[in-house]
Amino acid sequence: MDYLLVAAGFVLLLLGGEFLVRGAVALARRLEVSPLIIGLTIVAYGTSAPELLVSLEAHLSGNSGIAIGNVVGSNIANILLIVGCAALIRPVPCARECLRLNGPVVLGATVALALLGLTGQVTAWASVPMLIFLAGFTLYSYWAERQSLARGGPEAAMLLHEVEEFEDGPKTPLVIAGALAGGFLGVLLGSDFLVDGAAGLARSFGVSEATIGLTVVAIGTSLPELATSIIAALRRHGDVALGNVLGSNIFNILAIMGVVPLFKPLPVPEEVAVDMWLMLGLTVFFVGWALAFRRVGRPLGLLFVLGYATYLGTEFLGV
């Protein structure tokens, strides 16, 4: 039964997230919202909605190990699995201009979360500043992307490519409303199924909920970004993978760690605290590589995918 719940959760999160974002993009288009705003808010936040709802559902239902493990595991999966798969299809370009703003922010947010892990919990005193910083970062990003668009820079081009990936959506108001409602319901039910199934799997395998959160749940909530990045790579929009990973990792830390602990303090299990340092190391390596070499080629993509497979193995074997 637990396997069925997890599988159903995966499917509902993937389909629900897809319909939710496509419906929101279509509605914003009808309201003549700027493509830059759509890219910075609807696409960036919408594709990460599964992570937020799953972590919130897990924390409120008493499965805090899944809640924090999902955030850390998703950020690890974003770098190793998503960038790796996209690079295997086609090398991922990493324009230096795209990293000038997002690079320092994702590094700073990751360092902050790793340091919070040392305290053993994340409280509202830490989460509120994260939400304030996220709001300021979004506003500043919009201003910066407008400047980039005016001079034809790659930062805005990357955002526009991200929006293009979701433009084949509903057209009429009724269908748009149906997509939004169905997508939101799918993500809600998917998060509930995935958390319940994941908790059951943890008991069945005799592993901690944090381990399941770092692996099974993290993969499930990363499916929307993975699907988007693979499709974008096939369409020669490899820069979307870079935007997805940086944006999703920033959102996972600032938004999820900003919202979830508001309801009650979020404890950080020791094993998750250890994985936070792995997350930090991977983030430093990825941003450094992107700045130095300006692309992720197939050899590194293969290394990333193999590294992720090794990571999953060590988590379940307890190495």
> How confident is the model at residue 163, as a pLDDT?
65
The reply to whether 237 falls in a domain is yes
In a 13 Å sphere around the CA of 23, the CA atoms on its Cβ side amount to: 19
Q: What is the mean pLDDT of each run of 10 residues along the chain (319 residues)?
A: 81 80 76 63 73 88 89 94 92 80 90 92 91 89 70 60 66 81 83 83 80 88 80 74 83 92 91 93 95 91 95 79
The reply to whether 262 falls in a domain is no
C-alpha 276/C-alpha 257 separation (Å) is 13
Using CA atoms, how far residue 118 sits from 2, 160, 257, 265, 274, in Å, is 33, 39, 15, 14, 9
C-alpha 255/C-alpha 251 separation (Å) is 5
Q: Dihedral sign, CA of 239, 240, 244, 250?
A: positive
Which residues touch 134 (CB under 8 Å, ≥6 apart)? 250, 251, 254, 255, 258
> How confident is the model at residue 164, as a pLDDT?
66
The DSSP line for 145-210 is HHHHHHHT-HHHHHHHHHHHTT-SS--SHHHHHHHHHHHHHHHHHHHHHHHHHHHHHHHHHT--HH
Q: Is 93 strand, coil or helix?
A: strand
The reply to whether 211 falls in a domain is yes
* Contact in structure between 113 and 253 (CB atoms under 8 Å): yes
The reply to whether 240 falls in a domain is yes
Query: In this structure, what token pair is assigned to residue 169?
Result: 């959506």
Q: Is 269 strand, coil or helix?
A: coil
**Residue 202, domain CATH:** 1.20.1420.30
Which residues, in sequence order, are bridge partners of residue 278?
Answer: none
> How confident is the model at residue 37, as a pLDDT?
63
The domain of 66 spans: 2-256+267-317
> How confident is the model at residue 311, as a pLDDT?
94
Query: In this structure, what token pair is assigned to residue 201?
Result: 């799997």
Number of independent structural domains in the chain:
1
> Residue 107 burial (CB < 10 Å; 0-12/13-18/19+)?
middle
The reply to whether 115 falls in a domain is yes
> How confident is the model at residue 73, as a pLDDT?
94
C-alpha 166/C-alpha 28 separation (Å) is 12
The reply to whether 132 falls in a domain is yes
The reply to whether 210 falls in a domain is yes
> How confident is the model at residue 284, as a pLDDT?
96
> How confident is the model at residue 4, as a pLDDT?
86
> How confident is the model at residue 209, as a pLDDT?
85
Which amino acid, residue 47? T
The reply to whether 261 falls in a domain is no
Q: Output phi, psi for 175, to 5 deg.
A: -70, -35
